[in-house]
Amino acid sequence: MPSEAFKREDLFVCRKCGDCCRGYGGTFVDETDIEAIARYMDVDRRQFVTKFCQISGSRPVLAQGANGYCIFWDQLCRIHPVKPRMCKAWPFIASVLIDPHNWDIMAASCPGMRTDVPASVIRDWIEKGLAESA
């Protein structure tokens, strides 16, 4: 159970700057994501992958627009209700459990993250989020 002294929003509130939506290859989509986004956009899964994804290794990632941002970024996320699970989870992601220092590294490019919070509190909220999404 996360510390009651810190709510989730005490650790992170998105400033909607879009910095994490810029750059190639970061946003993998799994089958669940593809199904949800394709349905939201009213296209079939194959159309979605062909038109809005690129292949990184053997896995689809969201394509990058000419401006260097995710193809769905336009001052805000255009698929917010169904955005990929890794976008929804940010910054409460498993790699921070592996190395808590990753939180500070991520915070260097994400103005919504607080770094003056005990690592144990961050860990508790990440574990809670992972348990809820399992």
The contact set with ligand SF4 (CB under 6 A) reads: 14-21, 27, 62, 70, 72-73, 77, 79, 83-84, 87, 90, 110-112
Other CB atoms closer than 10 Å to residue 129's CB: what's the count?
A: 17
| CB of 133 vs ligand SF4, minimal distance in Å | 16
Nearest Cα to 103, choosing from 127, 81, 80, 122? 122
Length of the chain: 134
| Least gap, CB of 129 to ligand SF4 (angstroms) | 14
Of 4 and 31, the one with the shorter C-beta distance to ligand SF4 is 31
E strands, 64-120, in order: none
Which residue, 72 or 103, is less far from ligand SF4 as judged by CB? 72
